[in-house]
Structure 1
Amino acid sequence: MMRLYTCAGSRGLRCSWTICELGVEGEIELVLLPFPPRAFDKSYFQINGLGTVPALVDGDITMTESSAICHYLTSRFPAPAQGPIALSPDEADYGRFLDWLHHADATLTFPQTVALRFCQFEKDRGLEAAGEAYGDWFGKRLAKADARLQQHEWLAGDRFTVADIAVGYALYLSRMTRLDHHLTPTLRDYLARLTARPGFQRALAWEKATGEAQGVANRLG
């Protein structure tokens, strides 16, 4: 059985959300860790030497990039009843799908995590101004998604995919990083559609229930 290590509300939410959209919660063991695990659960370094979450263990394979894990899961389990949540190489929008999948972290999540660290966790070091600059950088990098979603309901293939999960989480994270004031009306509407999905709501409940059962209440933010 696969095992997913994560912290509630972290980037690992992309993975638990994907699992719930696929309807395979019973096929994967969810392990909740205190945030940040590198400080509060040193044993986790034996799973992921970086101490970051998430980590998916599937036999001899350990994956630590959340968007890659989402894509991997779609290849390991059957598509849900409503249809595939990934695009295949023979589909016209496959390149766009991959671009958005990687845009989520490379462009949208990274500046937020730096802003969070500098503005909230390390402000006693005088780094708030740098954190605010990263926050503004995040705001400017939303232009591409805003333009796409003004013309399309979803990012690629005219259907909901894990690219929407990946980018959607980056927008959801902005609430916890206190950068959601940068979201345009189009992006707010998109995020509302995503967070209203039963799969997203089940993922939140799954993480919460698992954390309580495992005695872990910490979350990001």
Structure 2
Amino acid sequence: MADRPATAPRILLLFFSLSGQTRRLIRAMADGMRAAGADVVEARLRPERPIPFPLPSLRRTFWMMLRTFFRARTPIRPLAPEARSGRFDLVVLAGPTWSFNPSGPVLAFLDRDGAAVLGGRTVLPVISCRGYWRAHWWGLYGRIRRCGGRPLAPWVYTHPVAEPWRTLGVLLTIAGWNVKRVGFLARRYAHYGHSEDQVRDAAEKGRRFVRWMADRPPGG
């Protein structure tokens, strides 16, 4: 108990997750933060029209990739009142990379709610991706700044499989293929998504970050 902060910081974990990978990281992070004494609020960005996972075909997958390459927005449902009006010492904004960019729901959030939720607050981006996250981060950094937020360096989690098998595995999994039945790929692509080590890392980082906040509050 000695590592708990004297005053519990309030943290908003705001995230979008299509396949469940970002959700795994955020739930682990929330557990670590709560274990260190933080008051954590989780709020998931939900599209107005649910997006199926996996997608029904390769054609639908390529069409979605093309649209998201040009940063197409995905309209989202209204945020929970607490996420919009609560006082938070930190906002975690998490989501996957879609075609080198933030996901459509995250972009829609920034357009509609970014200034209200992020303005004047410290923002910790968490990126879940296949491997190519820098363009996502550069775009997100500018958007957070324009919303009045103070972005910290991102926490980035990539899928722990070597290329080109990672790209093939992710693409086919999103399109609904069972890659374990694709002989040449099954031997090189053990599983889709993040490893248990990465999930444990998210929990430990969350715990340590709350301890850091107790020593040096980031503001907001």
Where on the TM-score scale, by shorter chain, does this alignment land: which range? Answer: 0.3 to 0.5
More strand by proportion, 1 or 2?
2
Q: TM-score, normalised by structure 1?
A: 0.33
Which structure features the higher share of helix residues? 1
What TM-score comes out, normalization by structure 2 length?
A: 0.33
